[in-house]
């Protein structure tokens, strides 16, 4: 099945490893983006040297006459999007190591301190190792050791369990008995019924993305989780199913339902329309 894996890697992913990758300049770009270092701050320093201002405000001479308020350069969100959504997860981990080595700071914690809201949630999700992100999302979804404590059943977890059971039993010679025991003994009856849901994986995720945005409000957790987790696996294939099933592209629905840097980052991860 090596050919299938190679095909998926070429056709399915929307986020690929950057060619000629070097984590050091990427780390420096992120540092400057979050600290206002660069053209903006250099301009301000020259202005400050040329004019005397009241201590409470910083103003500059407007080219149209009079004075205008000069706002210090803040976070460059687009630079963050350009770097982190265009690198593979493995490359992001290298950038984080370089960031720590060069500037003595944890990249993820720095991102948290500089960003906010849904955009922060999305960007921070990109910085997790895939298995740690999945573990975090499962933990947040279940909120307990067994989900029949409440009526909530996470469809994503049910799908993963279905895949795990298949891999543990039918797919390979022999049976991974511990996997069966773990799932069958820690999931509720309602959840185990949902395990049967997987027949077409890409249609399933297309449906999840559609209903995350359909109607009033957006289920941002579902939207972020599915786009981040599938961007390096099969998001291009999911996009094709999305268009066939709903008559519109995934990116067009994201544009209608989200805004600002959050929208731009999602669209960068999703890539061009099929």
The binding site consists of 213, 215, 217, 257
Closest CA to 157 of 138, 181, 180, 178: 138
How far is the CA of 114 from the CAs of 8, 95, 98, 165, 262, in angstroms? 35, 17, 19, 41, 14
Question: Who contacts 69 (Cβ-Cβ below 8 Å, separation ≥6)?
Answer: 57, 58, 59
User: Residues comprising the binding site for Ca(2+)?
Assistant: 213, 215, 217, 257
How far, in Å, CA of 198 to CA of 161, rounded? Answer: 10
How far is the CA of 248 from the CAs of 116, 199, 238, 242, 245, in angstroms? 30, 23, 13, 7, 8
Question: Who contacts 88 (Cβ-Cβ below 8 Å, separation ≥6)?
Answer: 15, 16, 17, 18, 232
């Amino acid at each position: 099945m090596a050919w299938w894996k190679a095909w998926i890697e070429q056709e399915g992913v929307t986020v690929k490893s950057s060619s000629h990758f070097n984590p050091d300049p990427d780390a420096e770009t992120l540092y400057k983006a979050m600290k206002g270092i660069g053209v903006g701050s250099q301009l301000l320093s020259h202005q400050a040297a040329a004019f005397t201002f009241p201590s409470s405000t910083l103003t500059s001479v407007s080219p149209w006459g009079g004075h205008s308020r000069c706002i210090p350069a803040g976070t460059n969100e687009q630079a963050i999007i350009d770097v982190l959504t265009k690198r593979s997860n493995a490359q992001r981990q290298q950038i984080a190591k370089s960031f720590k080595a060069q500037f003595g700071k944890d990249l993820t914690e720095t991102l948290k301190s500089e960003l906010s809201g849904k955009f922060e949630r999305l960007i921070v999700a990109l910085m997790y190792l895939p298995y740690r992100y999945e573990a975090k999302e499962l933990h947040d979804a279940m909120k307990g050791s067994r989900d029949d404590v409440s009526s909530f059943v996470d469809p994503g977890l049910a799908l993963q369990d279905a895949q795990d059971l298949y891999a543990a039993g039918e797919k390979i010679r022999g049976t991974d008995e511990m996997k069966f025991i773990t799932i069958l003994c820690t999931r509720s009856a309602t959840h185990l019924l949902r395990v049967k849901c997987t027949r077409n994986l890409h249609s399933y995720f297309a449906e999840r993305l559609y209903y995350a945005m359909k109607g009033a409000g957006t289920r941002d957790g579902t939207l972020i989780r599915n786009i981040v987790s599938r961007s390096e696996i099969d998001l291009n294939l999911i996009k094709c199913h999305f268009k066939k099933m709903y008559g519109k592209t995934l990116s067009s629905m994201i544009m209608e339902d989200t805004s600002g840097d959050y929208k731009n980052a999602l669209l960068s991860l999703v890539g061009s329309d099929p």
